[in-house]
Each structure stands twice: as structure tokens, then as C-alpha cells.
Structure 1
Amino acid sequence: MASKQARYTSEPSDLYDTSEALHCAGANLSECDDDNGMNEWAPLTESTANLEYESITNSIFAKPTDSSLARRRRGIEQHSSTDLGLAFSNSNGDVNDIESILQEYTAACQIYGCADRINAGILTTLRYRLPSLRVSGSFFDADMLALAEILLHHVNGSLSYIKRLDFSLAAREGKQYGKKGIRSHGAYALSKVLQISKYIEEVFLPGNRIGPYGASAIFCAAKNNPTLRTLLMRGCRIGERGAFALVSQILVSDDDANGRSCCGLREIDMSCNQIGFYGVFAIEKSLKKRMEGIKARHSNEGKSLDSFVIEVDLEGNLIFQEVMNCVTHGLGIVLAILATIFLSNAAKGKPRHFMLSCAIYSTSLIVLYLSSTLFHSFFLLQRTRYIFQVFDMCSIYILIAGSYTPFLSIAIQHQMLLAFIWLCGISGIGVEAFFPLWKWKPKFSLAMYLGMGWSCMVCMKELVAALSSRCLYLLIAGGIFYTADRFMSSRCPIFCPQQQFGSQHLALFCNDGLYLPLVFYICSCERGMMR
């Protein structure tokens, strides 16, 4: 008992007001679930903390009862050592530690008013010494306070085998109980654990609405934690203030004497957090500035800089841009349908391959804009967005091959090149659909896009002979806009969100706007009819 108390009081700065937490547990829990605010946690003096902790531990933690676990252990000890190894460690000290920690957790649940929903995921981790602590559903702020009690005592001792804290199920299954996981108070309790932890490497918090205050507390704790590597906070509603807290606490942190940051984070998931344009821009700017500083300090060492890189996922935070993407591509669907009507009228009375070529080109336009509209519409649904992203990438190959079809089938009747273009398109679709994790896929896609787009140079002489000079100018201008669109979308990362929405989509619309009159001219040209 003396060693346990000394370990608890050796770091008084990491304590929070236990009496206040007890009062909060006895009150209505809805008062502790505010997304936008968090109560002030008054610091305790060392003497006050000792008195309060001693009164609690003397009444509950220091008086273990003859629990069912103890009775079961005495029964198991009568069996063979093989059976004993399946349930417990061979060491009686390990058994006593497990029983003691389970009793502490159960008592903490009684203190914080959550004894009626003792978490099975936590019990399983403590009982079988699992490296990943994955809580089950119905896990809220009071449950986090109870868990934080035992972690503050044993996270660097008996519970040092825990490498991951996973609260993702708390957010998903918590909806059955009217709430979704922990809020800012639970995040604050978790931050106290991360401040002293030397072994926890991963923390998963997707869907827990911790808000900007909870996120700020976690970022502040992770700032000086060299062992924490991964922090997943998708859909935590941290907002713009949470993004600025990430910049000030993690991305613009002080380095030690050797030029290394005290923060060990290397992967941060900030997707779908309502960060907005200014928050995304601040994070991207800080990441770029941080990388420039790392290169300046370590460029002469001849070592890889991958160990210094912090990967931040910012997907789904530009709500206005995504909505505008959806609107503009939806408008593209309407225009593509209108173009289909005009092209069908232009091809009436012409040979069958005229109508077929117009139908293929019109269908490729509609497929592209429909896939892009669906892709941008479901930006908050990760799996659904990924599916439509694959469709969107595949539709690019369909549009390239569909755009070539009227030129090669009607204007110059180059069937060999047309077959080659469609074969390349089918190959690209296969790679996009079935090899999404191929490390060379981005470079392969860019090479295929540009190669297919400019393969018309093979038959340039025939095109010059078949088309007027004005049509050739439109064809070349469309190719330039297409190249700019592919370069920005395939090679350039999201540095300026405004640039991606404006320049990339403007290039795409200009490309299609230049090709439509060309296809209309080819379909209605009498010269093409003689061919």
C-alpha cells in the first residue's frame, strides 16, 4: 500500500481533483458530455492529494474481498500445472497482480457511478494481458475516469504490456445508449495517462466526439511523449480550433539538443473533423515548414528522413469545397445528357458507326461525371467514398477511350490505334480495381493517362488531312488542358485546397468543352460520311 501511494503522489501535477470527479459521477452524466466546453480541473496540493487518495484507498482499494476470482484461483491451483498455464501465469505474483488490478478497476467503477456497466473489453485485456485494450460498447466519460485510475497507477508497471488503446467500438455501439463514446472530459482523463505513459504506442479515437477542448488536451499530452506513434481521431469534431491546437502543440514543437522533436507521433488521422479551409491550410503549411527544417538539419547526415515525417490525413474536412465539387459535377451530368441529345440528332441518317461512336462518347462523359458526383457526395463515409473513388479513377480511362472513338472511327478510321487505346483503358481499369495498394500505381496511372492522351501523335498526319486548322487548334488546346488536369490530380498533393477545386476542375471542364464541338463537327461533317 505504501509503494502504491508513493507512486501515485510522486507526480502531483498529473493528478486531477478526485473529489470533484466523485461529485461528477454522482450527478447527472449529461452535464459531463458537453462537446464545446469542459469544466476547470483545479490543481491539488501534494498534501491534499495524499489525504484524499489515502481515504479512498483505505476504504476500497486497500481492502480486497474474498472475490469469486480468488475462490476460482484456489480451485484451479489444485489441478495440474498445464491447466494452470492456460488460465494464469505460473507466478503467484502475476495472479495476485491481476486480481488486485481487477479489484481496483471494479472499485473505481463503483466510485464513478458506472458499476452497472463494467466494460468487458477492459476486463478481458486485464485478465489475459492483451497488448491491445479495446473497450466494448457503452463506454462514456465516467468509464474513462475509472479506466484512467488504474492506468495512472500501473501503466508503466503491471500494465506496461498494453501498447494500444482502442475506443472505436465505444463510438459505434454507444449510439444504442443515446450517446457516442467519450467527450471532452473523458479525453482530458486520457490525456493524463498519455502524459506519463512510456509504453502506449497507439490510441484509436474515431467517432468519439471529444471536441476541440478534448483534442487540445490530447495534443498537449502527446507533445512530450516519445513513445506514442499513432493517433487516430477521425470524426471527433475537433473543428478549426482543434486544428490550430495540433499546429501549435505537435507540428511547431520545440526540439531537443540533438535537433529531434520530443513528440513521437508519426501518423495522425484528422479526417472528417470539420476543420475547414483555414485549419487545413494551417496544417499543410506547418507540415511543409517542418519538413524544410528537418531537411536543413539532417541533409548532410546521409540518412533517410522517413523517421521524421508526420503523416496527417485531412480527408473530408473541406465541406464547402466538397459540396461545390458535387454541384459542379452534377451540372456536368446535365450538360452531358444535353450533349447526348445534340450528338444523336447530328448522327441521324448517318452510317451505324456514326451513331455508335456518338453513343460511346456520350456514355463515357455521363459515367465520368456521375462517378465524380457520387465520389464527392459521400466524402464523410470512408468505405463508400473509397468504392466511388475507384469508379472515378476507372471512368477516366473510359473517357479517354471514348473521346478517341469518334476521331478514330469516323474521321480517319484508324481501327488499330482505336483497339490499342481501348486495350490500354481496360488494362488501366484492371489495375485501379484489383491492385489498389500497388506501390507503383500512381506513377503507372499518370503514365497511362498521358500516354493514352497523347497517342494521337501517331496519326497526326491523318488528323491534319481530315480536320480543318480551327479544329486542330481546338484539339491541341484540349490536350493541353487535359494534361494540366492529370498532372494536378495525380502528382500534386493537396497543398492549397482552393487551387485543387479551382484549377483542376476548370481544366477538366475546358477539356470537355473543347472536345464537344469537335465531336459534333465530325458527326455532322459530310466529308466524314464519304469515309
Structure 2
Amino acid sequence: MNTNTRPSQHTAPLTRYRERKKQLANLPKPKLRGWQHAIMAPAAIAVGIVQICLADGAGQKVACAIFMACAVILFGHSALYHLGNWSPRVHRVLRRMDHSNIFLLIAGTYTPLTIGLMSPAHARLCLTIVWAGAILGILISHFWPSAPRWVYVPLYIALGWVAVWFFPEMVRNGSTATIWLILLGGIAYTIGAMAYAFRWPNPCPRYWGFHEFFHLGTVIGYTLHTIAVFFVIL
């Protein structure tokens, strides 16, 4: 009887993935890790204050305040987490919060855009779906911190593209520039998430790795969506 324990063709890719994951985890942190978000945190405060002042009516002002708060929390906490040298215990706590904040920013971004581009009924429906999904993602991040990336990265992407179901109404109510900004921002976020999920490209691990591409995707996506919010509130 053949007792060969050589990995099958089906298990070999998984084994290679785990080995590569372990190798990347043992690499020193890139020197530019966290600096993109460190720059964006104060910028998000300044832009958010301007949006709140320009927004028309209490509802829009509150929506812009929520967007600002979520962006500042994500960028500020990410900078703190990635730039610091933390003990293993603190690192685990900060990592859970870092993953949770991505869901927070997705829902926060939807808030002013849906209120400005959808009917009240559809805005409530969209925000209920997105915020419920964000809460689910936050719970997964806190209670299943070791979840593989194929669990929460697809959830990031799915939440980000909930707007597709409401797209015809958004097109009717928004300008062409607004719609393109929303679409391109979503694409930037998605590309960044894919770089994070596949840990690729990783061109210069000493300074700029796959995680920096992920952060760049969030910076570009946030910037484009912020401009879209300006188009909506003005």
C-alpha cells in the first residue's frame, strides 16, 4: 500500500501560501509604514470641518460630521498602530481596532453620500444595510482576530459596493463628476484591498511593501469620495 505523505496538488497551494505568509510576517516593518495615514489624519479633520460648515441643514451637517469622525479615527489610529513599537499584547488590541476601523470608514463614507443622492426611504435602507454590515465586520475583527483575510477582505469589498443596488437613483440625482468620483474611489479601495489580501505587489519590503499599496488605496479612495461629498453638499 502506498503510504506516500507528499502533499496533494490541492493542498500544495495552501502550504505555499502559509509559508509565504510566515516569511512576510518575519520581515522588518517597512520604514514608510503608517506615514501616509499620519499625514491624512489632520487633513481629514480640516476637510471635515469645512464640509460641516458648508453642508446645508442639520441632517447633512451630522452626516458630514460622521464621515469626518470615521476618517479621523481610521487614519489617526492606523498611524498610531503602524508607527509605534508595541508590546505583543498592545499590538493585538490595536490590530483588532485597526481592522474594525476599515468597516467604520466604509459606513461613514456612505452616510453623507446616501443622504444627498437618495430618497429618504432608500437612504435609510442603504445605511441600515451598510451600518449593519459594518457592525458585523467589527464584531468579527474583535472576536475572531485570527480570521483569514479571505473572510474579512471580501466583506470590505461587498460593503463598499452595496451602492450598486441603488446606482440608478444616484445617477439621476448626482452629477456626472460625482458619480465618476464615487466609482473611481470604490475602485481604488478595491485595488488596495486586493493588494492586502494577496500580499502583492511587494516591490521594496524595506521601504514600501504590499501594505503600503493598501494604504495608498485608502488614501486615494478617501480623497475621491471626499471630493464627491463636496459636489453633493454644494
Distance 1:418 1:378 in 2: 34
The Cα of 1:419 is off from its aligned counterpart by 0.8
Q: Does the 8 Å contact 1:316/1:379 carry over to 2? A: no
1:409 aligned onto 2:140: no
Matches within 5 A, 1:333-352: 333-347=41-55, 350-352=56-58
Residues 384 and 470 of structure 1, relative CA distance in 2, 3 Å threshold = same
Distance 2:171 2:219 in 1: 25
Matches within 5 A, 1:508-527: 508-524=218-234
Q: 1:367 aligns with which of 65, 73, 82?
A: 73
Q: 1:328 aligns with which of 36, 41, 58?
A: 36
The Cα of 1:463 is off from its aligned counterpart by 0.5
Q: Does the 8 Å contact 1:484/1:507 carry over to 2? A: yes
1:59-91 deviation line (CA, Å, top 9, x unaligned): xxxxxxxxxxxxxxxxxxxxxxxxxxxxxxxxx
Larger relative contact order (CA 8 Å, sep ≥ 6): 2
The Cα of 1:369 is off from its aligned counterpart by 0.4
SS at match of 1:406: helix
The Cα of 1:411 is off from its aligned counterpart by 2.2
Distance 1:410 1:436 in 2: 35
Distance 2:10 2:225 in 1: 49
Q: Does the 8 Å contact 1:361/1:402 carry over to 2? A: yes
Distance 1:486 1:392 in 2: 14
The Cα of 1:429 is off from its aligned counterpart by 0.4
Matches within 5 A, 1:76-225: none
Q: Which has the larger radius of gyration?
A: 1
Amino acid in structure 2 at the alignment position of 1:329: H
Distance 2:211 2:54 in 1: 34
Distance 2:230 2:127 in 1: 19
Amino acid in structure 2 at the alignment position of 1:519: V
Amino acid in structure 2 at the alignment position of 1:429: I
Q: Provide TM-score, normalisation by structure 2.
A: 0.83
Q: Where is the helix percentage greater, Structure 1 or Structure 2? A: 2
Q: Single out whichever of 503-512 and 453-462 deviates more from structure 2.
A: 503-512
1:341-397 deviation line (CA, Å, top 9, x unaligned): 2112212xx321111100000001001101211210234532222211111100000
Q: Does the 8 Å contact 1:376/1:385 carry over to 2? A: no
Matches within 5 A, 1:23-62: none
Residues 488 and 366 of structure 1, relative CA distance in 2, 3 Å threshold = same
Residues 502 and 446 of structure 1, relative CA distance in 2, 3 Å threshold = closer
Q: Which runs of 5+ in 2 are unaligned?
A: 1-5
Residues 310 and 478 of structure 1, relative CA distance in 2, 3 Å threshold = closer
Residues 386 and 411 of structure 1, relative CA distance in 2, 3 Å threshold = same
Matches within 5 A, 1:265-284: none
Q: Which runs of 5+ in 1 are unaligned?
A: 1-297, 525-531
The Cα of 1:509 is off from its aligned counterpart by 1.3
The Cα of 1:500 is off from its aligned counterpart by 1.6
Amino acid in structure 2 at the alignment position of 1:327: W
Amino acid in structure 1 at the alignment position of 2:124: Q
- Partner of residue 460, structure 1: 167
SS at match of 1:331: helix
Distance 2:134 2:10 in 1: 40
Q: 2:141 aligns with which of 432, 439, 447?
A: 432
- Partner of residue 3, structure 2: none
Amino acid in structure 1 at the alignment position of 2:81: F
Figure out how many residues of one structure are paired with residues of the other and give that number. Answer: 221
1:207-242 deviation line (CA, Å, top 9, x unaligned): xxxxxxxxxxxxxxxxxxxxxxxxxxxxxxxxxxxx
- Partner of residue 198, structure 2: 491
1:28-58 deviation line (CA, Å, top 9, x unaligned): xxxxxxxxxxxxxxxxxxxxxxxxxxxxxxx
Q: Provide TM-score, normalisation by structure 1.
A: 0.39
Amino acid in structure 2 at the alignment position of 1:500: F
Residues 386 and 419 of structure 1, relative CA distance in 2, 3 Å threshold = same
SS at match of 2:126: helix
